[in-house]
Amino acid sequence: MADIKTLYPAKGVKLCLIPTEQFKTSIVSAIIAMPLAGRIEERALLSSLLRRASAKYDDLTKMNRKLAGLYGAVLSSGVDKIGEGQFVSFSVSSVDDRFAIDGERISSECIELLLEILFEPKLCDGVFSAEDVETEKRLFAEKIDSEFSDKKLYSLEAMIEKMCEDEVYSVKRYGSKEKLLSLTPEDVTAAWREMLASAMIQFNVVGNCDGGDIAQNLRERFEKVDRSNPCEIRTQIISECDGEKYFSESQSVKQGKLVIGMRSGMKDKDDDYYAFKVMTDMFGGGPYSKLFMNVREKMSLCYYCGARLNRAKGIIVVQSGIEQENEQKAVAAIRQQLEDMKNGVFTDEDIENSIKGISDMVLSANDLPDTINAWYSGNYTSVEDDEKVSPEEFVENIQKVTASQVKEAAKKVSIDTIFMLKPNGKGVDEDDDED
């Protein structure tokens, strides 16, 4: 991996330049982080409103035609929840200048476009256009609605909402749909100004392009913003739960969805993180994991059954798609596999395999500009957090994990909430007349 240059164009604003000549494309991105509180809905809406148009390209079609003209440059935006922070992000990826048939400077144009989107949006008399705000509200509301159609996602969100009902984390990444629909252009404009002034912001430039200008460019643009008081994000981590919660819901689906939320026992995002990572992977990571080997392969209960560690929040979530009649059997089997992890029922080879699997996956992050960008954005929970661990350093750390650490980590895990989405009978076997 090439040398990463880190600059600070303004207080609480970081710029990471990651030069590499390996790829045919470059990517420039902005990650804007604020606590999961306050104007959540406004910022969620801004993630698509700012992408839609800028002062210079002042409607959707002009913006998209500009991108097409830049050899199909891809402008993406999104909003995520990491721990108890809300992360709004924008990126433009484009082909290298050397492919420009008419000698265009594609990558600098893309950098400029990204900055225009953030700093010079389309405003009428100082506020966002009412028409644009209304359109983006409808589009965002439909995006929220469609989460109901994705039963895996729906069940995960339902479980989190219940498990973390007394924590900030129960708030969705976009806040509430009702509030979103009630926003005015003035609300959104105020949130945009607040975001530029107080969010923690990181810019990444990955690729074969001269990012030298961008630092100066950012300095000039941020001079007009009061950056005296950037925010901080703190996440409440509950390491022990008091008792297990169970709840279920019925819908007209054909397959049941089981979601189990666990407290990992981590005290913060760095507390024995690597041991928890290996432990979760052995428990329910790849096809060599205990959940795959037993719940799927031995018991034939499901097509998928896996566990994921949510580092920033310190929780582990198990998900599986099963027949409702197998719910008890599946829950018992998952409990048993967790017990086995706690009791150290695994071999040194199991740990080695898991470490190899994780290392392999992590190192492959070096092979795409997008994954490099994601890697150096992913750990971003504090601007002072300067330990941007490289994939290679991550692998060094993961290789130090021992059997006893894994066992100790597993012992701290406790089941908090079990959720089952049940078929209500209406959705089943209604398609017998097909074929």
Partner 1 sequence: MTTKIEKIENSLLGEYYFRVEHKSGLTVLVMPKEGYSSTYALFGTKYGSIDNCFKVSGDESPTRVPEGIAHFLEHKLFESEDLDAFERYAKTGASANAYTSFDRTCYLFSCTGNFKANLEILLDFVQSPYFTEKTVEKEQGIIGQEIRMYKDVPGWEVLFNLLRAMYHNHPVKIDIAGTEETIAQIDDKLLYKCYETFYNLNNMALAVVGNVELDEVLEVCDRLLKPSRPQSVERIFENEPEEVVESFIEEELSVSNPVFNLGFKETWLTPERTLKEEICADILLEIIAGNTSQLYRELIDKKLVNTTFTTEYFIGTGFAAKIFSGESADPRTVAELIREKIRVFKENGISQEDFDMAKKKLFGRTIMAFNDIDNLADSLIKAEFLHEGLFDDMELFRNLTLEEINEHLRKTLDERYCVLSVINPAKE
Residue 425 interacts with partner 1 (CB under 8 A): yes or no = no
Tally of helices (H runs) and strands (E runs) in the chain: 15, 13
Return the residue matching tokens 């960008």: 373
Q: Which is nearer to partner 1, 70 or 163 (CB)?
A: 70
Q: Which is nearer to partner 1, 248 or 382 (CB)?
A: 248
**DSSP letter for each residue of 159-211:** HHHHHTTTSGGGS-TT--HHHHHT--HHHHHHHHHHHHHHSEEEEEEEESS--
Q: Give the integer Cα–Cα distance in Å for 51 and 64.
A: 10
DSSP H or E segment with residue 307: strand 305-310
Q: Which stretch binds partner 1 (CB under 8 A): 227-235, 252-260, 332-340, 402-410?
A: 252-260
Count of alpha carbons within 13 Å of 43, Cβ hemisphere only?
A: 29
Residue 254 interacts with partner 1 (CB under 8 A): yes or no = yes
The 8-class DSSP code of residue 430 comes to T
316 token code pair:
């582990």
Binding test (CB under 8 A) with partner 1, winner from 6, 11, 146, 385 = 146
Q: Which stretch binds partner 1 (CB under 8 A): 35-43, 308-316, 401-409, 426-434?
A: 426-434
Binding test (CB under 8 A) with partner 1, winner from 6, 55, 130, 138 = 138
Residue 148 interacts with partner 1 (CB under 8 A): yes or no = yes
Torsion sign, CA atoms 262, 265, 269, 274: negative
Q: Which is nearer to partner 1, 246 or 304 (CB)?
A: 304
Q: Which is nearer to partner 1, 143 or 400 (CB)?
A: 143
The 8-class DSSP code of residue 302 comes to -
Q: How far is the CB of 206 from partner 1 (least distance, A)?
A: 11
Residue 71 interacts with partner 1 (CB under 8 A): yes or no = yes
Residue 330 interacts with partner 1 (CB under 8 A): yes or no = no
Binding test (CB under 8 A) with partner 1, winner from 5, 38, 56, 64 = 64
**DSSP letter for each residue of 226-276:** --SS------------SS-EEEEEEES-SSEEEEEEEE---SSTTTTHHHH
Residue 65 interacts with partner 1 (CB under 8 A): yes or no = yes
Q: 3-class SS at 304?
A: coil
Q: Binding to partner 1 (CB under 8 A): which residues in 97-116?
A: 99
Q: How far is the CB of 109 from partner 1 (least distance, A)?
A: 13
Q: With contacts defined by CB under 8 A, how many residues of the chain interact with partner 1?
A: 70
Q: Which is nearer to partner 1, 142 or 242 (CB)?
A: 142
Q: How far is the CB of 373 from partner 1 (least distance, A)?
A: 13
Q: How far is the CB of 348 from partner 1 (least distance, A)?
A: 12
Residue 369 interacts with partner 1 (CB under 8 A): yes or no = yes
Would you say 85 and 1 are in contact if contact means Cβ atoms under 8 Å apart?
no
Phi first, then psi: what are they for 89, rounded to 5°? -135, 150
Q: Binding to partner 1 (CB under 8 A): which residues in 158-187?
A: none
Residue 286 interacts with partner 1 (CB under 8 A): yes or no = yes
Would you say 428 and 254 are in contact if contact means Cβ atoms under 8 Å apart?
yes
Q: 3-class SS at 260?
A: strand
Give the pairing of strands 414-423 and 245-251.
parallel
* Binding residues vs partner 1 (CB under 8 A): 20, 22-25, 48, 60-61, 64-65, 67-74, 93-95, 99, 135, 138-139, 142-143, 145-146, 148-149, 151, 251-255, 286-288, 296-297, 300-304, 321-323, 349, 353, 356-357, 359-361, 363-364, 366-369, 424, 426-427, 430-431, 434-435
